Homo-oligomer: A and B are copies of this chain.
Amino acid sequence: MAAKQNRFILALDITGTFVFAIEGALAAIHAGLDLLGVMVLAFCTALGGGIIRDVLIGAAPPSALRDWRYPGLAFAGAALSFMFYRIIAAIPPMPLVVLDAAGLALFAVAGTEKALEYKIPPLNAALMGAVTAVGGGTVRDVLLTHIPAVLRVDIYATAALAGAALLVLLRRFGLAAKPAAFCGFMACFLLRIVSVLLHWHLPVLRP
């Protein structure tokens, strides 16, 4: 059972890693970075959130550094983005938004699961899920000296936090790990997609 749940978390981690690596690589290419910069940004975007989570919950060395296949996956995403840039750049935006939302939801759920496993209290575990989901993109934006998009742009980190919070709440009410993770995933994924389609955003004060 424990082994099965760990394999479930592993599968979530791997899928999200590859999607985020491509996004990091594209941001680096747009910023005019060289091949190494593209690889570093793919690495940070894909694995940064999970690495920050693992360092914070006391799980150092992070899983991304215990296993050479995680960096390998991120670098493969970088290399593919670099080689097939024209093809990837020609993809219309909506499929990328959907893939990104899937990665976001996967990371939020996997991060919350792992934090709970490490005995982090529920509210903070949900925060760790959100950090896992948006931490990599935040590191990418800091390295490109942008104010992190997640602090400015529509319902993104908010969706991650909502999905993570739902997961934690459902587990609290006695639901098993897998259905709770599924509900958290779907909540984050759908909230993100719907908010893009309907141009939802959070309130901003105009001082």
Chain A interface residues (CB < 8 Å from chain B): 28-38, 40-41, 51, 55-58, 60-62, 65-68, 71-72, 82, 85, 89, 118, 120-124, 127-128, 138, 142-148, 150-152, 157-158, 161, 201-207
**Which residues of the other chain, B, contact A138 by a CB distance below 8 angstroms?**
143
**Which residues of the other chain, B, contact A158 by a CB distance below 8 angstroms?**
36
CA distance A142 to B36 in the complex (A): 18
CA distance A127 to B72 in the complex (A): 11
CA distance A138 to B44 in the complex (A): 13
Contact B72 A123 (CB under 8 A): yes
Whole-angstrom distance between the Cβ of A206 and the nearest chain B Cβ? 8
Residue of B nearest to A139 (CB): B142
User: Copies per complex?
Assistant: 3
> What 17 new A-B contacts, CB under 8 Å, besides A34-B151, A71-B124, A143-B151?
A30-B207, A32-B152, A32-B206, A34-B152, A35-B202, A35-B204, A41-B151, A56-B62, A57-B61, A61-B118, A65-B127, A66-B121, A68-B123, A71-B123, A143-B148, A144-B147, A145-B146
**Which residues of the other chain, B, contact A82 by a CB distance below 8 angstroms?**
205
**Which residues of the other chain, B, contact A40 by a CB distance below 8 angstroms?**
150-151, 157
**Which residues of the other chain, B, contact A145 by a CB distance below 8 angstroms?**
142, 145-147
A-B pairs with the 10 shortest C-beta distances? A37-B151, A58-B60, A34-B202, A68-B123, A35-B202, A58-B61, A68-B121, A65-B124, A34-B204, A29-B205
Contact B60 A55 (CB under 8 A): yes
CA distance A191 to B42 in the complex (A): 24
Contact B148 A85 (CB under 8 A): no
**Which residues of the other chain, B, contact A128 by a CB distance below 8 angstroms?**
65
